[in-house]
């Protein structure tokens, strides 16, 4: 059963009608034993109350037992009352679950700037506390969906020196998605036993190479959180440097798969842009150019319309702030060279390009000719559906 | 006749079918005597061939006599051939107009990355050279429109110490509009006599306070150019510092009016967002926050939908990179305070806000509480029409 959670973990979900009736919008991940925590958070200065709570737990360095997640309300920009509501939820749930309040992590997603409806929380927490039992990743994932078109989860087994362990990732995210870090909630759990410092390090490395390299709309949200819980229930420890490498690689691969799903499900998106920049002065410059292209409304709408208007890509490179000599810059679109050393080439390939642009995955390769720097980015296109979804998100 | 050009200037236009049949797409502004030139250009590193030509003329410091402007083809990312085509056009037109090649400025707008169709230019330049005669600002303005819904021009008279002079501004721009500088072509002409250094200085100041404070889609184009021509045909000189102040103020006011028209006509835009940021650490920080809000797709779609989803505004401030203490930040939307010192206020004003958001002009006032810095920005909203226009711009 590939979608089974790692050993020692169970999940549950209930419907609270935080935003809409009749669908699960409150979920829990519960571990039968203490977990080592790794985590990364949004860089938005208005980080939501639940993000502040998780940051404190991470800083304290203790073990954790549960994650409670809700959709429909972000509990962001809610000041002291928002924080007090988090602490109330932790206390109540802790008593019901028989664990400590500071062993419970909170993550939230939804409308910014509204206080929690605590009546709904108080009514549903007892049901939530009784809900864990499922070993399936999908139920929890569905409870944290907002504008997501499909639930995003993946599992894989990793053979370490001492035996096999499992990694499961469950994520939400469709809009407000931009690097630093990709706007979303994400939970990665494993039954491997991993030392805290190494777990955090492999987490940060994996996130920087995956979630921090995607963009849907350039908006970085108040609630971005990625949590990693390792509970050791498999009895298998990541003990050698070869084990670390294996687990680290598996984590990067599974997060990359999830990050792709995020972009694929970008709000109103029909295509995934695979942007690579090479020959930049340095990696930072390459990332700057890639983001400028990936966030350009004009590039995104052109790709949406299947229009090979490659000049807009060069234009976005040109205002990105990157250092480059225009006479050295080149561009391949869908594998076809259209710009070489500052001049258009292959004008006769327009029809072939139009054919290529009908595909779901679009490759954009930019050559700057200024140095060894390179970077990549996954981006969504921009269509009518994005506007429809976001012009009446709250109503 | 308020739309008459300043003395000594005349305009003309012809239809070349650069992109579509049957509408004027090549225009000329001609002065019967030499003009002092002021100019500002795009900061995009891929500045178009005509921008390179204008930059050289400005740097040489000589006088100019004419501006030739086309729509339909940007002549950007066209390398050496693009530049050669510009020089060919200057030479041919100079011979026909009886002036020198380096007295002719060129501005272009349209699709990036295609070479000029020189056959069409050679066929139509003789007609263009004979076309000046009109004293009306509208014809030339129509010739430089691309996705513009209406022509953008304005005139006003200014009473200087020695008599009255006229200022006329003609502009195009609807998409690829972002500060540094607002993507567009703009020509400002006057029959005042102004010393070169003062003319350039008042120009830069006026542009920084107007065109550099608007955004439609965050894309800064390869072709942005603003040209100022002062020919002295009124016989009135800007001679005193009071004259400079009067002319400078009039220039700022008329460019502000034109900049507002640009945003009002933002591609697919239905509303104009008037964003002000105050209490920033410094003016630069204030501008950073304002641009982040003005370029946020989520803010722009919410306003388009008439949804008072103010949390998205705070969110955009939060990831702008601005330094601020979240507990000091406040927000007024349409004059109604919704966020004060990090907490939501006036939750009961939602209905009134929804009513206010039906208006064409939407005021967003952000208070950072960190210092004396302030800045303003005009931004368009983002609707279905933007996607429609830009997903099939070339076809």
Contact between chains at A384 and B387 (C-beta distance less than 8 A): yes
Interface confidence, given as ipTM, is: 0.78
Cβ contact, residue pair A314, B77, below 8 Å: yes
Contact predicate B184/B224, CB 8 Å: yes
The tokens of A61 are what? 């360095």
Residues of chain A with C-beta less than 8 angstroms from the C-beta of B307: 391-395
* Residue A99 predicted with pLDDT over 60: yes
Half-sphere exposure of B43 (CA within 13 A, CB side): 13
d(CA B173, CA B177): 7
Q: Read off the pLDDT band of A394 (50, 70, 90).
A: low
- Most B CBs within 10 Å, among A75, A268, A301, to test the B interface: A301
Tell me which residues of chain B have a pLDDT lower than 70: 1-3, 174-183, 215-220, 392-395
Q: Label residues A80-103 b or e (16+ Cβ within 10 Å = b).
A: eebbebbebbbebbbeebebebbb
- What average pLDDT score do residues A320-329 get? 91
A215 is catalytic: no
Token code pair at residue A277: 């920049």
Which residues pair with residue B236 across a beta bridge? none
Do B392 and A314 count as a contact with CB atoms less than 8 A apart? no
The C-alpha torsion from B333 through B337 and B339 to B345, rounded to 10°, is -130
Q: Which of A13-22, A240-249, B143-152, B206-215 has the highest mean pLDDT?
A: A240-249
Cβ-nearest to A339 among B77, B217, B317: B77
Q: What's the confidence (pLDDT) of residue B333?
A: 96
The per-residue pLDDT for B395 is 41
List strand residue ranges (DSSP E) for B150-258, in order: 152-160, 163-172, 185-190, 214-215, 225-230
Residue A148 or B343, more confident: B343
Tokens 């721009």, residue located:
B173
pLDDT by residue (tens digit) across A160-204? 999 999 999 999 876 555 433 344 789 999 999 999 999 999 999
Residue A144's alpha-carbon distances to A72, A153, B99, B216, B311, in angstroms, are 8, 12, 70, 33, 19
How far apart, in whole angstroms, are the C-alpha atoms of residue A19 and residue A21? 7
Give the CA-trace dihedral at A342, A346, A350, A355, to 10 degrees: -110
Per-residue model confidence (pLDDT) at position B394? 54
On chain A, the residues whose CB falls within 8 A of the CB of B322 are 45
pLDDT at A172: 86
Q: What is the pLDDT of residue A246?
A: 96
Q: In this predicted structure, what is the pLDDT of residue B43?
A: 82
Residue A58 is predicted with a pLDDT of 95
Q: What's the confidence (pLDDT) of residue A257?
A: 92
The pLDDT score that the predictor gives to residue A43 is 82
Mean local confidence (pLDDT), A267-287:
91
Closest residue to A394, CB basis, from B80, B307, B324:
B307
Q: What is the DSSP letter of B327?
A: G
- Which pLDDT value is given to residue A179? 37
Q: Which residue has the higher pLDDT, A183 or A340?
A: A340
Three-state secondary structure call for residue A2: coil
How far does the CA of residue B63 sit from the closest CA of chain A (Å)? 29
Burial of B116 (0-12, 13-18, 19+ CB in 10 A): buried
DSSP A126: H
Nearest to residue B326, comparing CAs of A219, A114, A47? A47
Which residue of chain A is at minimal alpha-carbon distance from B338? Answer: A113
Q: How many angstroms separate the CA of residue B212 from the nearest CA in chain A? A: 14
pLDDT for the residue A219: 65
User: Whose CA is closest to A27, among A15, A36, A39?
Assistant: A15
Catalytic, out of B36, B168, B183, B222: B183
Nearest to B307 among A78, A342, A393 (CB): A393
Closest CA to B40 of B160, B164, B202: B202
Q: How far is CA A64 from CA A28, A86, A109, A328, B251, in A?
A: 13, 16, 21, 53, 64
Number of CB pairs, chain A paired with chain B, less than 8 A apart: 225
Q: Looking at CA atoms only, how far is residue B34 from chain A in angstroms?
A: 34
Query: B315 vs chain A: nearest CA distance in angstroms?
Result: 6
Which pLDDT score is estimated for B175?
Answer: 59
Active-site annotation holder among A36, A78, A109, A183: A183
Beta strands at A361-367 and A373-380: parallel, antiparallel or unpaired: unpaired
In this prediction the pTM is 0.82
Query: Is there a contact between A387 and B384 if contact means CB atoms under 8 Å apart?
Result: yes
């Amino acid at each position: 059963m590939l979608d089974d959670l790692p050993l020692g973990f169970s999940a549950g979900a209930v419907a609270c009608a935080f935003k809409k009736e009749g669908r699960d919008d409150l979920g829990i991940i519960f571990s039968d034993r203490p977990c080592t925590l790794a985590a990364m958070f949004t860089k938005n200065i208005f980080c939501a109350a639940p993000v502040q709570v998780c940051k404190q737990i991470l800083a304290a360095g203790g073990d954790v037992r549960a994650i409670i997640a809700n959709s429909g309300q972000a509990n962001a920009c809610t000041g002291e009352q928002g924080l007090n509501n988090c602490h109330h939820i932790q206390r109540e749930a802790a008593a019901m679950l028989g664990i400590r309040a500071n062993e419970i992590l909170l993550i939230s997603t939804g409308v910014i700037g509204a206080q929690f409806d605590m009546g709904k929380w108080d009514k549903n927490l007892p049901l939530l506390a009784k809900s864990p039992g499922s070993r399936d990743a999908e139920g929890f994932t569905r409870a944290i969906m907002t504008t997501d078109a499909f639930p995003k989860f993946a599992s894989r087994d990793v053979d370490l020196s001492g035996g096999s362990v499992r990694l499961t990732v469950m994520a939400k995210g469709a809009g407000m998605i931009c690097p630093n870090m990709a706007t979303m909630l994400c939970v990665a759990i494993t039954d491997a036993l991993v030392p805290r410092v190494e777990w955090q390090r492999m987490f940060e490395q994996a996130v920087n190479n995956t979630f921090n390299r995607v963009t849907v709309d350039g908006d970085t949200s108040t609630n971005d959180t990625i949590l990693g819980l390792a509970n050791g229930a498999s009895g298998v420890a990541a003990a050698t440097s070869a084990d670390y490498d294996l687990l680290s690689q598996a984590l990067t691969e599974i997060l990359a798969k999830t990050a792709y799903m995020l972009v694929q499900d970008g709000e109103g998106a029909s295509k995934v842009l695979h942007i690579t920049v090479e020959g930049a002065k340095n990696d930072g410059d390459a990332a700057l150019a890639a983001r400028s292209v990936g966030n350009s409304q004009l590039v995104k709408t052109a790709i949406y319309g299947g229009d090979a208007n490659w000049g807009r890509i060069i234009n976005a490179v040109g205002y990105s702030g990157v250092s480059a000599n225009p006479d050295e810059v080149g561009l391949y679109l869908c594998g076809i060279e259209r710009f070489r050393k500052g001049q258009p080439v292959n004008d006769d390939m327009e029809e072939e390009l139009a054919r290529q642009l009908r595909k779901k995955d679009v490759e954009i390769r930019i050559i700057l000719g200024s140095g060894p720097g390179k970077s990549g980015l996954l981006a969504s296109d921009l269509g009518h559906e994005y506007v429809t979804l976001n012009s009446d998100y709250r109503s």
